[in-house]
Structure 1
Amino acid sequence: MPGAVYQTELTPLSYLRRSAEVYPDKTAIVYGDRRYSYAEFAEAATQVARALRASGIAPGDRVAYLLPNLPEMLVAHFAVPLAGAVLVAINTRLSTDEVRYILDHSGAKLLVVDAVLAATVAPVADELAGVTEIVTVVDPAAPGSGDRIAGPDYDDFVARGTAGEPLPWAVDDELATISINYTSGTTGRPKGVMYTHRGANLNSLSEIVHSAHTPDSVYLWTLPMFHCNGWCTPWAVTAIGGTHICLREVRGDVIWRLIGEHGVTHLNGAPTVVTTIMNAPEAVTLDYQLVVTTAGAPPAPATILQMERMGFRIVHVYGLTETYGPYSVNQFQPAWAELDAEERATLQARQGVGMITAEWLRVVDENMADVAADGATMGEIVMRGNNVMKGYFDDAEGTERAFAGGWFHSGDLGVRYPDGYVELRDRAKDVVVSGGENISTVEVEQAIMSHPAVLEVAVIGVPDEKWGERPKAFVVLKSGALKSGELTSGGATAGEDELLEHVRAKIARYKAPKAIEFVEELPKTSTGKVQKFELREKEWAGEQHRIRG
């Protein structure tokens, strides 16, 4: 047959190969005094991939990383799939039990851990079901070395891959899993969300387009790479040939110093990052435009206006772990420039429309029919296409539920306007979105209920200036009375400080309540169900309820 067409499988691996060929001497990664050119970036990824294979990692095996935003974490986004393996990037804020669950559930065979975070793994290092080796990364810029775990350090590990044949920057199956990202466990145990090479490749293109990246982009890593693979930005910025500025922790003074030193043009993050930047003593008005792509909660109109006055341009996106991070974007319309500033900012705070490689964002009723585009009729946000996960790892039942009717169900409720733009209005579940992280009220309640003095508890999200919202617990004790600021129950003390410490020992500290209020009883229906909306109405009186964005 004449005109036969030969196609290659889509993968973000091709992005580093291309940039290493097109921009071999250009600076790709900066961290403190460390610099990597694109040629060196590709060579580092190749060496780590060879080291993984030399360590017994076979195609399809899972490799876990528990690292902050270091160059080693950026390299892993290419090295692990280059070895044919699957990257499992773990939230650095999780507790020991949570990390152990993810390692066991994913079946990870090798773990790379930051020395400072090694203390999280050390208590269970000898109990991990499938991990055969733990590699430790020592960051000279870190405040402390942490607890060392038996196993090689990173340099010795990488040395295993210094020699070998070139590896192909290609895959045989674009629908193969490239990474597994675990949800925050908002309905119990976290789920492992599987991304494909094809989805990562295409979502990266959307990030380039909607965040307006160019080869001159200087991207500051304020968004954790463990969160939805950094919204696919490790692959996106590399694809366009921009420069990555790595950042160990988000601090206002450090962010402004790096902006000044490197002329940062882009950064991503939750509204809390935006707040940190704006309120830092070092904040100045920029003489150029810095693009801030934000999600986690819709930016308040006042925040958008303040950022613009400081020289920032807000790109508002919306998505979930199951959608590779951002799925929709508030696409700016030229006509909005003629509107009153407050009206324009209000329009920009909506969640918008599907990104360029995504399908249309739908709002549907219980029968999967689209609701009226009147800005008032609420329905559930559903999505499908290249920007939606392959499924939940080792959870066929959960995957089937999530895709009921052929579309992924977000669990978020929203409305559609006549212009086609979607705005979130509420949640189907009682998830607290704090600093861009989802916190399960059930998980927090269970941690509190494990205290012997607690009879009942209800947890809701309440306003928080820094984090948008934080959990607050309403607690009924088994017995006891308030005495000198401390409640007692059968000889067991249950003051606020003690309960908070109890919770922090059970779950990640960021999930712990902002406050605990002791009450005589909780509002309930006649059937005994706690009416959380009554608690919310009191706490949110006079506040515009913040919803996930």
Structure 2
Amino acid sequence: MEKPLLVTDFLDRARKHYGDREAVVATTGERYTYDELGARADGFSATLQARGIEKGDRVAVLDPNTHYHLAAAYGSMQIGAVHTPLNYRLTPDDFAYILEDAGVDAVYADHEYAARIEAVRDEVPTDIFVTNDAEAVDGDWEPFEAFIDEAGTDYDRPAMDESDDITINYTSGTTGDPKGVVRTHRTETIHAYLVTVHQDITDDDVYLWTLPMFHVNGWGHIFAVSGMGAKHVCTRGVDAEWIFDTVTEENVSYMCGAPTVLNMLKDYYESNDGVTTTGDRDVRIATAGSAPPEAVIRTVEDQFGWYLKHVYGATETGPLVTTSDARRLFADDDDSRFKVKKRQGLGYLGTDVRVVDEDGDDVPHDDATIGEVVVAGNQVMDRYWNKPDATEEAFTDRIEGYYHMGDLATVDENGMIAIQDRKKDIIISGGENISSIELEDTLFEHDAVKSVAVIPSPSEQWGETPKAFVVPDGDPSDPPVTTDELKQFCEDRLASYKIVRRFEFVPELPTTSTGKIQKYELREQEWEDEDRMVGEG
């Protein structure tokens, strides 16, 4: 038989089997069981429906990682409305564009961020504005608690098909306007199944929300954690001391963190004596995208005693499509495991991950030949919202029917991929391809380097040459290391054509809300006086 794959099944299952078990530790101090979380979602569903919100309408959620986000997300999806989470670091103009582009029909916004919606209220195509603290917000906003009580908890769940749209996640818009990534019940459900398997999620897990819930629906954890009946520990921000304290107090067993979050935890741990890193449970942590430097992985595993899983993907692909967690390829007590864990790794179950050349042919598994990563899988997006041309291009550039990641990678003899760079970040100096990631990893090994980003810089002699923006472990105006010392550090470890010869000390690097370094801002700054477009390679 065939049963439709619906995202509503996740909370339904938790309520059926774990209704009286603790589901959520709220940032406000309350604790909710799955029955209680479900009732709050039902109230949101009932009032939305009473106000005229129907299947297919878009409901925006602007919220840090709180229990309100979970209730609003499930409350929207239970009536077939399309959950549209928003990045809380965006500007009012960004919100005006996204809300108009998506045709949003209702908005829930946390009180700390509602002012950015209020600033463009007249440009937003809805008259339903809900917040968790109406008294703290200027303008006519409805209190969340009153909203979910208004119509009771009875609502009509419409017939839904697994091919129906159910979420729209907007990309960061690093090139042009943000694009809405449309995902169906089927793509979300299968991705959540894959996350559950590859991240080893079980019903006794305690999940700490350090990853933004808005970011591809928290990598699917709003579904996977709930569906398994595990516990959500909510947050309103990322603070190293608070993370370590919460891990021990709540017996956290699982969390996610960008490389910048791992760096923050490492710095705090090394700067403070007697930091307790675990409670009564072993801890595993997932990090995504560009691999953290080996020194960070070593600290997380050898000093914190946590198990690190390196995963990879994109908003358009679910996001997760690969994992480095291939335990038959390394031993837990062998230092060689760090090199494996730095790789983006093997494709998830049912996911075809290939690295192809410009003709669409697979590159050899020699860990040297570079090609572009392309992906086919049931977790890949349905389309871009109202952008058919961009959708077609994304699936047809080098090879038909695969989503093109825009990342350049090699493949080793085990079929594990290793990202060398983004297309636009690869440095071509004097005809030689140079990976900025390799240079960043090298520089990060220096004790005086706290963080670093390497980009192509214009060069009359070579066309372009590597330049490093370095956040030193100290005052940027009086750094504890000289540029000559850093250059020599590179010369001792890299081929001559790869050596970084240009450095700039900065107090911080531009990052996205998920901690990824926004190199395009540095490239724009570096190439603003040049004739050609930055990032052409």
Q: Greater RCO between the two (CA within 8 Å, min separation 6)?
A: 1
Query: Conserved in 1, the CA contact under 8 Å of 2:62 and 2:109?
Result: yes
- Tell me which amino acid in the other structure corresponds to 1:303: V
Which residue of structure 2 lines up, in the alignment, with residue 293 of structure 1? 286
Which residue of structure 2 lines up, in the alignment, with residue 275 of structure 1? 263
- For 1:360, what is the secondary structure of its paired residue? strand
**Residues 517 and 425 from structure 1, CA distance in 2 versus in 1: closer, same or farther, beyond 3 angstroms?**
closer
Specify every segment of 5 or more residues in structure 2 that has no aligned partner in the other structure, as ranges: 427-435, 441-452, 456-465, 474-507, 512-516
Matches within 5 A, 1:258-273: 258-273=246-261
Which residue of structure 2 lines up, in the alignment, with residue 366 of structure 1? 358
Write the distance in 1 (CA, Å) between the matches of 2:199 and 2:348. 11
TM-score computed with the length of structure 2 as normaliser: 0.78
- Tell me which amino acid in the other structure corresponds to 2:204: D
Which residue of structure 1 lines up, in the alignment, with residue 446 of structure 2? none
Write the distance in 2 (CA, Å) between the matches of 1:384 and 1:185. 23
Asked if 1:215 is matched to 2:222, the reply is: no
Which residue of structure 1 lines up, in the alignment, with residue 146 of structure 2? 156
- Tell me which amino acid in the other structure corresponds to 2:327: Q
Write the distance in 1 (CA, Å) between the matches of 2:370 and 2:520. 30
Q: Identity, % of aligned pairs?
A: 34
Matches within 5 A, 1:407-426: 407-426=402-421
Matches within 5 A, 1:474-513: none
Write the distance in 1 (CA, Å) between the matches of 2:472 and 2:224. 32
Write the distance in 2 (CA, Å) between the matches of 1:186 and 1:518. 14
Write the distance in 2 (CA, Å) between the matches of 1:209 and 1:79. 26
Asked if 1:381 is matched to 2:373, the reply is: yes
236, 243, 252: which one pairs with 2:224?
236
Which residue of structure 1 lines up, in the alignment, with residue 449 of structure 2? none
Matches within 5 A, 1:247-396: 247-280=235-268, 281=272, 283-286=275-278, 288-309=281-302, 310-337=304-331, 340-341=334-335, 343-356=336-349, 358-396=350-388
Shift of 1:52: 1.0
Shift of 1:257: 2.0
Shift of 1:412: 0.7
> In terms of mean alpha carbon deviation, does 179-188 or 276-285 score higher?
276-285
Which residue of structure 2 lines up, in the alignment, with residue 195 of structure 1? 183
- For 2:119, what is the secondary structure of its paired residue? helix
- For 1:368, what is the secondary structure of its paired residue? coil
- Tell me which amino acid in the other structure corresponds to 1:334: R
Write the distance in 1 (CA, Å) between the matches of 2:23 and 2:118. 33
Shift of 1:203: 1.0
- Tell me which amino acid in the other structure corresponds to 2:306: F
Query: Conserved in 2, the CA contact under 8 Å of 1:49 and 1:161?
Result: no
Query: Conserved in 2, the CA contact under 8 Å of 1:391 and 1:399?
Result: yes
What is the aligned residue count? 456
Query: Conserved in 1, the CA contact under 8 Å of 2:408 and 2:422?
Result: yes
Shift of 1:338: 7.4
Write the distance in 1 (CA, Å) between the matches of 2:295 and 2:130. 46
Which residue of structure 2 lines up, in the alignment, with residue 131 of structure 1? 126
Query: Conserved in 2, the CA contact under 8 Å of 1:352 and 1:422?
Result: yes
TM-score computed with the length of structure 1 as normaliser: 0.77
- For 1:361, what is the secondary structure of its paired residue? strand
Write the distance in 1 (CA, Å) between the matches of 2:472 and 2:164. 42
Shift of 1:294: 0.7
Which residue of structure 1 lines up, in the alignment, with residue 44 of structure 2? 48
Query: Conserved in 1, the CA contact under 8 Å of 2:59 and 2:82?
Result: yes
Write the distance in 2 (CA, Å) between the matches of 1:352 and 1:166. 44
Query: Conserved in 2, the CA contact under 8 Å of 1:523 and 1:531?
Result: no
Which residue of structure 2 lines up, in the alignment, with residue 101 of structure 1? 97
Shift of 1:284: 2.5
> In terms of mean alpha carbon deviation, does 345-354 or 205-214 score higher?
205-214
Which residue of structure 2 lines up, in the alignment, with residue 427 of structure 1? 422
**Residues 300 and 33 from structure 1, CA distance in 2 versus in 1: closer, same or farther, beyond 3 angstroms?**
same
Query: Conserved in 2, the CA contact under 8 Å of 1:270 and 1:294?
Result: yes
Write the distance in 1 (CA, Å) between the matches of 2:126 and 2:323. 39
Write the distance in 2 (CA, Å) between the matches of 1:277 and 1:21. 37
Which residue of structure 2 lines up, in the alignment, with residue 462 of structure 1? 469
Shift of 1:47: 1.3
Write the distance in 1 (CA, Å) between the matches of 2:53 and 2:369. 51
**Residues 190 and 286 from structure 1, CA distance in 2 versus in 1: closer, same or farther, beyond 3 angstroms?**
same
**Residues 226 and 461 from structure 1, CA distance in 2 versus in 1: closer, same or farther, beyond 3 angstroms?**
farther
Write the distance in 2 (CA, Å) between the matches of 1:422 and 1:512. 22
- Tell me which amino acid in the other structure corresponds to 1:148: D
Query: Conserved in 1, the CA contact under 8 Å of 2:96 and 2:120?
Result: yes
Write the distance in 2 (CA, Å) between the matches of 1:68 and 1:37. 20
**Residues 522 and 51 from structure 1, CA distance in 2 versus in 1: closer, same or farther, beyond 3 angstroms?**
closer
Write the distance in 1 (CA, Å) between the matches of 2:240 and 2:332. 33
Query: Conserved in 2, the CA contact under 8 Å of 1:415 and 1:424?
Result: yes
Query: Conserved in 1, the CA contact under 8 Å of 2:352 and 2:377?
Result: no
Shift of 1:54: 1.0
> In terms of mean alpha carbon deviation, does 174-183 or 155-164 score higher?
155-164
Matches within 5 A, 1:76-91: 76-91=72-87
18, 23, 45: which one pairs with 1:23?
18
